[in-house]
Amino acid sequence: MNPRIKVVSTGKYVPEDILTNKDLEQIVETSDEWIQTRTGIIERRIAKTEKNIDLAYKAALDAITKSNYDKEKIDLIVVATMSNDNRNPSIANLVQARLGLNDKQIMAFDINAACTGFVYALEIASNLLVTGKFKTALVIGSEKMSQIIDYTDRNTCILFGDGAGAMIIEGTNEPKNEVYFYSDSKGDTEDILYASRYLKMDGKKVYQFAVQMIPVAINKVLEYAKLEIDDIDGIIFHQANKRIIDHVVKIMKIDIDKVFINIDKYGNTSAASIPIALSEYKDTQKTSKKVLLVGFGGGFTWGSAIIDI
Ligand SMILES: CC(C)(COP(=O)(O)OP(=O)(O)OC[C@H]1O[C@@H](n2cnc3c(N)ncnc32)[C@H](O)[C@@H]1OP(=O)(O)O)[C@@H](O)C(=O)NCCC(=O)NCCS
């Protein structure tokens, strides 16, 4: 059974400090021109003093404030992250405390599916709402990638940035609120992308994986929803590389006007990229929209969703 959820609000937070391509030219052997032509990134945000939890909390607060939502209704918090400040407590537990919800019965936990994290988290939360045991979920993607990036490694340091995005969803019985998910993974790719102290990556191989799996993820979720790509109003890709997005748009003959892109401003914020983009996209829309989300990343993991926002 497909879950039925209502998206109540979205929010985002990005740190103030900007690291431009020009700044990176002073740190590693690279150039603004190389970065822009290979990735579409112009600048990214870096949390100099804030921790991952601060980013997650501020994104959650933005979602709550924007919709003037009664936070006391939240009974489930799921955070997608691969850059928690500590192994424990989870960011979700800390967000619960910051929101002053410690005395409430809440299930709060983090998940790690790298850059696919938010799509996985949304699927998990939506299905927990279906049980009826939980009524309102706060789903967050939050990353302080700068604390797992080696700023002497030009293969990775030019790509990533910090930030967080959040979404509040409620369970509902309305058939029109049915949402669709597709998710998949494979685990024999540790030599291509892994993060222990620092994130290491074979960019070319990750690129090949991405352009192969994104069309699969898009087609699968459309098939589950019995929809065509033309039925979708907006497409939010994980913002990893503009060239990856352009490639998929071209081979799938997607209308570029439907594709929301903000990688130029934030770089790849891993699990935060989709909810940040979704929040910015929603803020530009006057009416409800049917959106397709598609994520891919370390693991490898990949997944997609169709929701109304
Ligand atoms: C990382 C990425 C931008 C590199 O682009 P690319 O076209 O594959 O570039 P290559 O790795 O072939 O490198 C081309 C040349 O640029 C050099 N180079 C690599 N990084 C560089 C940098 N930051 N600045 C300047 N030159 C760089 C390489 O050393 C290589 O030089 P050579 O030809 O003399 O050997 C691209 O592969 C990519 O985006 N991959 C996907 C990564 C990703 O999205 N990861 C997250 C997944 S969620």
pLDDT in tens, the chain (309 residues): 899 999 999 999 999 999 999 999 999 999 999 999 999 999 999 999 999 999 999 999 999 999 999 999 999 999 999 999 999 999 999 999 999 999 999 999 999 999 999 999 999 999 999 999 999 999 999 999 999 999 999 999 999 999 999 999 999 999 999 999 999 999 999 999 999 999 999 999 999 999 999 999 999 999 999 999 999 999 999 999 999 999 999 999 999 999 999 999 999 999 999 999 999 999 999 999 999 999 999 999 999 999 999
Cis peptide before 300, with omega less than 30 degrees from 0? yes
Nearest one of 95, 105, 23 to 64, comparing CA atoms: 95
Q: Is 158 in the pocket of ligand 1 (CB under 6 A)?
A: yes
Q: Is 203 in the pocket of ligand 1 (CB under 6 A)?
A: yes
- Residues annotated as catalytic are 115, 238, 268
User: Based on the structure, what is the number of domains in the chain?
Assistant: 1
The three-state secondary structure class of 299 is: coil
Residue of minimum CA distance from atom 1 in ligand 1: 203
Domain that holds residue 86: 1-309
What distance in angstroms lies between residue 156's CA and the mean position of ligand 1's atoms? 9
Residues 74 and 81: beta-carbon distance below 8 Å: no
What distance in angstroms lies between residue 267's CA and the mean position of ligand 1's atoms? 14
Q: What is the CATH number of the domain that holds 83?
A: 3.40.47.10
Residue of minimum CA distance from atom 16 in ligand 1: 34
